[in-house]
Structure 1
């Protein structure tokens, strides 16, 4: 059986992470004998795809809006795309304390790229990397470029902006699930709930604020990096589609 480039890339990524042959086989579904062969450096029979060319074959109107908008928010907050041999790897770093967010991230990836599988890799630092391999991630996330996000321009292209305008709630939820939090505080003995979003990129903070404006949710900026939502009515509005992290 000829294995795909994505499977080959994933196996080698797991080998580099120090996983043993049995665990790699269980995670990927690739037979142990094949994993052993690839570990020994034998050539994989996988098609090689260009790494640096964005194809023109996509009809972005067919992308499932809510999963994509949510995944875009996660990517802008805690995601990256990197080359992996003959394909691309989208990786979202999530907190191991929140299994629903982990599963929501994996589900969004699989909805956006039907027929492919998202993988979860638990790190010693109490985080879980959710990743998927595809030749088309750089088409779906044209914000990918060399350098850190906060050191370069981040703008949505026209088709992304259309998706986010249709699915604004999902976009905000993805940003909060990656770089935000819901805080329950006691202010002079009175319980108060607020949402915070923190990011170093002015452009990403701008996208977050524009999305809040679209839903007529009032926000403030208590510090250079932070956006806060304090008003009770606005917090209740966010609770309708976000709520506590789980």
Structure 2
């Protein structure tokens, strides 16, 4: 975790007009961390057990709903919750080694949600499982249940939908960072007798769960992104964003993995 002076220096660069991406490159700090500091600058106290906002006498939303929306997207894509004999739950999210910035962003969001619990990374072949234990993960992610996510009903609680409605791009970013990608397609055209190559970017999201794909596409529609469904064989597992204006929106708010 970064101390308060480091956080203030990063925010000072933002105040000077530098973008989050530029500040990240200058300082080596992940964009997710910088983004979260714009909401909360004080370092998290890992030695102080935090109460679960959903288990209080008066349940409330998580303190940092933007970080929650991002982590929710990651969980629905490449995350799972398992329990131990002691009644403690482990949230694990698999992040490919190819995207170190994504790994840092995932760890930061997880730590924001449970500041009193340690977040650690377990190396696997080609990926790291970003992991944190807490008794309260099922409270924060009520989609947890037996079996695979695509074999059971996945739906938001009203408080989750309220968070996603308020922070749709964070949720979209989490889903793209887990089960999505930004690629560049190309084609050739004959122009004035000369064949020229044209490249155009597009976003893909692939998930076996009909419910999760619908949560993703509904959120895209809410922010004005046009999308289409592409079938793989007979199963419509892929959602594509290819129109120029929609890709530009995605680039402005999501961007490629890093």
When normalised by structure 2's length, the TM-score is 0.72
The 2-side partners of 1:85 and 1:66 are apart by: 32
When normalised by structure 1's length, the TM-score is 0.76
How far 1:96 moved relative to its partner?
Answer: 0.6
The 1-side partners of 2:207 and 2:142 are apart by: 19
Paired position in structure 2 for 1:8: none
Note the 1:183-222 alignment, pairs <5 A: 183-188=183-188, 189-222=197-230
How far 1:62 moved relative to its partner?
Answer: 4.0
Paired position in structure 2 for 1:117: 118
Paired position in structure 2 for 1:226: 238
Report if aligned partners of 2:202, 2:247 keep a CA contact under 8 Å in 1: yes
Runs of 4+ residues deviating >4 angstroms: 54-58
Is 1:153 the counterpart of 2:161? The answer is: no
SS in 2 for 1:244: coil
Note the 1:1-246 alignment, pairs <5 A: 55=55, 57=57, 59-86=59-86, 87-123=88-124, 125-188=125-188, 189-223=197-231, 224-246=236-258
In the alignment of these two chains, the number of paired residues is 192
How far 1:117 moved relative to its partner?
Answer: 2.0
Greater shift after overlay, 57-66 or 148-157? 57-66
The 2-side partners of 1:60 and 1:196 are apart by: 34
How far 1:242 moved relative to its partner?
Answer: 1.3
Encode CA deviations 1:88-136: one digit per residue, 9 max, x unaligned: 000000101100000000000011112222111111x211000000000
Distance 1:140 1:236, change over 3 A: same
Unaligned runs of 5+ in 1: 1-53
Report if aligned partners of 2:122, 2:129 keep a CA contact under 8 Å in 1: yes
